[in-house]
Amino acid sequence: MSLPGTVPHDGVVAELADILDRLHVVALPMRVRFRGITTREVALIEGPAGWGEFGAFVEYEPPEAAHWLASGIAAAYRPLPAVQRARIPINATVPAVAADDVAGVLARFPGARTAKVKVAEPGQSLADDVARVNAVRAVVPTVRVDANGGWTVDEAVAAAHALTADGPLEYLEQPCRTVAELAEVRRRVDVPVAADESIRKADDPLQVVRAGAADIAVLKVAPLGGVQAMLDIAAQIDIPIVVSSALDTAVGIGAGLVAAGCLPRLDHACGLGTGSLFVDDVAAPALPVDGHLPAAAVTPDPARIAALAAPPDRRQWWIERVQACFPLLS
């Protein structure tokens, strides 16, 4: 039984008042529009065990956002597990920019040998996607694409053919919304299919694997409830895993890198280089070395937190959001 104002989760007992006392809300300006936003707001928790991040996207309702809060609380109040590898290969992330802008984006990912390219952007065409992917291929040898569930099955099949006309794809990430659609696409194309939203947004994150609907599982620490929660899910998955970010600050990226470092096997580059999408971050940017980042937690810079502090009304919004999500953790 939990005490009033406390919720036990994953071995962590935290008091709501203590969490709110430790809360820092920041707003990070972005270099390009990504997921429809140009400023990324998150709440950071300065805990006794380290720093946690609560950054559920603002449109997420409390039942979904509560998983992200659980992740932030776990990182702030519980030591992270020890890693098995010191460096993590990362992919470059290319938003839905014009083909002419691709080289500038890739320049912010020195040494990356893999790139994830956003496709199926509302208002854009398949021809735009093909041009962008081919511009990436001219610079980076391995290309994967992410549709964020933006296609129907027939559109995904057509896109797979068009996007592989000039070269291979490592995989199609979340081409359609549902598990059944992913399974159908997987039957109809030769390109491997990766699942993201079908794992992190599902009541049962293992359903997509049981259904044989994916070749690769994309796991993200925050929406799955924290590093240990993600590792517990990973232990039940028998297909390759890619650890990715959820447009995290340096704090969240550090948690993702630690999670990737704890996996017994890591066959693919991870989507943990998205810090380069920010104009400024809560810690000095960690520049990739030979396309790798260190598997280590990050402590933010107090001066940066102060400089990036969100306005008072936005801070209050995040406080109320924590208050709404907190009772759902039990």
Which CATH number goes with the domain that contains 307?
A: 3.30.390.10
Tell me: is residue 146 an annotated ligand-binding position: yes
Query: Burial of 165 by CB count in 10 Å (0-12 exposed, 13-18 middle, 19+ buried)?
Result: exposed
Average pLDDT, the chain: 94
Q: Is residue 4 part of a domain?
A: no
Provide the percentage of residues in the chain whose pLDDT is more than 90.
87
The pTM assigned to this predicted structure is: 0.92
**Per-residue confidence (pLDDT) for residue 11, from 0 to 100:** 56
pLDDT in tens, 120-166: 999 999 999 999 999 999 999 999 999 999 999 999 999 999 999 99
Q: Is residue 310 part of a domain?
A: yes
Domain region containing 61: 16-80+302-328
**Per-residue confidence (pLDDT) for residue 6, from 0 to 100:** 45
Q: What is the distance of C-alpha 135 from the center of its chain?
A: 24
**In which band, very low, low, confident or very high, does the pLDDT at 257 lie, cut at 50, 70 and 90?**
very high
Q: Is residue 311 part of a domain?
A: yes
Q: Is residue 46 part of a domain?
A: yes
Q: Is residue 35 part of a domain?
A: yes
DSSP 49: S
Q: What whole-number distance in Å separates Cα of residue 82 and Cα of residue 275?
A: 23
Q: Do 198 and 91 belong together in one domain? A: yes
Which CATH number goes with the domain that contains 196?
A: 3.20.20.120
Tell me: is residue 173 an annotated ligand-binding position: yes
Domain count, the chain: 2
Q: Do 68 and 190 belong together in one domain? A: no
Q: Do 26 and 145 belong together in one domain? A: no
Q: Is residue 8 part of a domain?
A: no
- Cβ atoms of 47 and 76 within 8 Å: the answer is yes
pLDDT in tens, 38-68: 999 999 999 999 999 999 999 999 999 999 9
- Which residues participate in catalysis according to the annotation? 118, 220
Q: What is the distance of C-alpha 41 from the center of its chain?
A: 15
Q: Do 235 and 125 belong together in one domain? A: yes
Q: Do 165 and 285 belong together in one domain? A: yes
**Per-residue confidence (pLDDT) for residue 3, from 0 to 100:** 32
Q: Is residue 222 part of a domain?
A: yes
Q: Do 65 and 129 belong together in one domain? A: no
